């Protein structure tokens, strides 16, 4: 059976609303499925996704080893160059020595101690935002709580001043750029991403220049001080941090609450960390990540040759009964054996995982405490995106 027969259709609203039955069919019928519309091999099993994320025969890019021609790929469209320049020089899309160098520098900002120091700020922000939602009797949980918290935290960490009017543009810029991470993005999506890439880069270039003149106690100033990053690497990595620093956290908060409300369950506040891990597994906010095959690999008798692209189906891996047992499709807020792949694995393992966990537990704790009777006032609508999967809004009353 190929992927299309399994009803794998990332452009259909029904599939985005519930991709899990299609994943089950893919898992039942093979380890690697050719998906012609994107020319990718879909990988649905936990064991394979987890192993391939750690396998150095694959990479987020191939340009550190091959030219486009050698790799059998068309060079990216020249009209989209501002997006590619921005994307290709950030930590996530580098491999080998460049990745190791930048990861080492940025990791210094994400030590357990740095995150520990943020605890009071994150809790205070979460309490305030939830307090405002409760005082208003309800509203859109996404716009009023889920989004402002991680945006404010990551903006503060990088040193994006609150008084800069661009702070309000971080979210739309990010949304436009992330449009390019969906499968086969439209020309319109590419145009929006290009405009956002230019504007976002210009703003950061100016902010970096400002921090060179007046260093602060922030990540941009520390990256300037080590003098090991080019200007482009710095801009690209800051954009990555600002975008990755909120996109998935927003969706995990909202998708997680929708799951709780739909299932009619509430986590035990004493065991909130365990419950948050389960929500991260049960409805994975980032459904798939891609890798280029740099040297031939073999999966279940199928040879996937150099030059191919694999799509690692995180959402499927996290529901794989071979790893999570017969309750893989069940929400179990007390699950402790939970090796989900939601934050990835290997050299690109999410640098912000401790921060994301802190933000999620803080928001969930405040909602449980201040809004124990929270309920939906309208069925939410999924955004069209499959890779970065989340709702348009979540309307609630308290």
Burial of 67 from C-beta contacts in 10 A (0-12 / 13-18 / 19+): exposed
Site string for ligand HEM, 97-126 (x = CB under 6 A): ------x-----------------------
Given candidates 185, 344, 380, 385, which one binds ligand HEM under the rule CB under 6 A? 344
Name the one range near ligand HEM by CB under 6 A: 32-40, 303-311, 348-356, 366-374. 348-356
Q: Which listed residue (352, 380, 385, 390) binds ligand HEM by CB under 6 A?
A: 352
Find the part of the chain contacting ligand HEM (CB under 6 A) among 163-171, 327-335, 344-352, 381-389. 344-352
Q: For residue 261, give the nearest of 122, 388, 398, 123 by alpha carbon.
A: 398
Smallest gap, in angstroms, from Cβ of residue 351 to ligand HEM? 4
Query: Minimum Å distance from CB 326 to ligand HEM?
Result: 25
Whether the CB-CB separation of 316 and 27 falls below 8 Å is answered with yes
Q: Which string of x and - marks every residue 42-81 that binds ligand HEM (by CB under 6 A)?
A: ------------------x---------------------
What are the backbone angles phi and psi of residue 35, rounded to the nearest 5°?
A: -120, 100
Among 200, 343, 382, 391, binds ligand HEM (CB under 6 A): 343
**Shortest Å, Cβ 188 to ligand HEM:** 25
Name, in order, each residue with C-beta under 8 angstroms of 53's C-beta and a sequence gap of 6 or more: 289, 291, 312, 341, 344, 345, 346, 348
The span of 125-133, 159-167, 352-360, 377-385 binding ligand HEM (CB under 6 A) equals 352-360
Instruction: List C-alpha distances in Å: 127 to 67, 130, 162, 272.
Output: 51, 5, 19, 16
286 binds ligand HEM (CB under 6 A): yes
Return the residues of window 186-225 that contact ligand HEM according to CB under 6 A. none
Q: Is 351 in the site for ligand HEM (CB under 6 A)?
A: yes
What does the alpha-carbon distance between residue 210 and residue 225 come to, in Å, rounded to a whole number?
13
**Residue of 52, 91, 234, 367 that binds ligand HEM (CB under 6 A):** 91
Sequence-distant contacts of 160-167: CB under 8 A, at least 24 apart: 160/207, 160/242, 164/203, 164/207, 166/203
What are the backbone angles phi and psi of residue 138, rounded to the nearest 5°?
A: 135, -165
What is each CA distance from 367 to 185, 216, 355, 361, 390, in whole angstroms?
36, 34, 18, 10, 19
| Contact between 288 and 387 (Cβ < 8 Å) | yes
245: which 2 tokens?
A: 């620093």
Contacting ligand HEM (CB under 6 A), which of 282, 289, 364, 382?
289
CB 204 within 8 A of CB 211: no
CB closer to ligand HEM out of 101 and 191: 101
> How many Å apart are CA 368 and CA 384, to the nearest integer?
30
DSSP symbol at 145: I
342 lies in the binding site for ligand HEM (CB under 6 A): yes
We find the least distance from the C-beta atom of residue 357 to ligand HEM, in angstroms, to be 8
- Collapsing DSSP to helix, strand or coil, 33 comes out as strand
Using CB under 6 A, pick the residue from 154, 219, 239, 297 that binds ligand HEM.
Answer: 154
**Among residue numbers 240 through 269, which ones bind ligand HEM (CB under 6 A)?**
240-241, 244-245, 248-249, 252
- The site for ligand HEM (CB under 6 A) is made up of 60, 91-92, 103, 154, 240-241, 244-245, 248-249, 252, 285-286, 289, 342-344, 348, 350-352, 355-356
């Amino acid at each position: 059976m190929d992927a299309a027969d399994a009803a794998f259709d990332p452009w259909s609203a029904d599939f985005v609303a519930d991709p899990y039955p299609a994943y089950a069919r893919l898992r039942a019928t093979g380890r690697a499925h050719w998906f012609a519309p994107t020319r990718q091999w879909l990988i649905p099993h936990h064991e394979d996704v987890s192993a391939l994320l750690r396998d150095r025969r694959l990479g987020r890019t191939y340009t550190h080893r091959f030219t486009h021609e050698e790799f059998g790929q068309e060079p990216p469209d020249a009209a989209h160059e501002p997006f590619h320049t921005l994307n290709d020089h950030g930590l996530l899309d580098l491999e080998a020595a460049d990745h190791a160098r930048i990861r080492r520098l940025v990791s210094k900002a994400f030590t357990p101690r740095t995150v520990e120091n943020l605890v009071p700020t994150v809790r205070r922000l979460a309490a305030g935002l939830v307090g405002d939602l409760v005082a208003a009797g309800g509203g859109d949980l996404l716009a009023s709580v889920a989004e402002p918290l991680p945006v404010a935290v990551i903006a503060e960490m990088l040193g994006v001043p609150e008084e800069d009017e661009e702070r309000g543009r971080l979210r739309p810029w990010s949304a436009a750029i992330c449009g390019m991470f969906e499968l086969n993005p439209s020309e319109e999506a590419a145009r929006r991403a290009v405009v956002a890439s230019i504007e976002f880069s210009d703003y950061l270039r100016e902010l970096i220049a400002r921090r060179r003149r007046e260093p602060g106690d922030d990540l941009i100033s520390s990256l300037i001080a080590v003098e090991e990053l080019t200007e482009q690497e710095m801009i690209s990595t800051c954009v990555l941090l600002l975008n990755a620093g909120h996109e998935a956290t927003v969706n995990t908060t909202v998708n997680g609450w929708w799951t709780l409300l739909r299932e009619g369950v509430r986590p035990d506040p004493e065991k909130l960390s365990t419950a948050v891990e389960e929500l991260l597994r049960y409805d994975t906010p980032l459904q798939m990540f891609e890798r280029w095959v740099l040297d031939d690999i073999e999966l279940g008798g199928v040879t996937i040759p150099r030059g191919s692209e694999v799509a690692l189906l995180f959402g499927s891996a996290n529901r794989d009964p071979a790893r999570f047992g017969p309750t893989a499709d069940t929400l179990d807020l007390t699950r402790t054996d939970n090796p989900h792949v939601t934050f990835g694995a290997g050299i690109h393992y999410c640098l912000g995982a401790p921060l994301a966990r802190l933000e999620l537990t803080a928001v969930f704790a405040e909602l449980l405490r201040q809004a124990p009777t929270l309920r939906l006032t309208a069925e939410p609508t999924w955004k069209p995106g499959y890779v970065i999967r989340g709702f348009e809004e979540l309307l609630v009353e308290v």
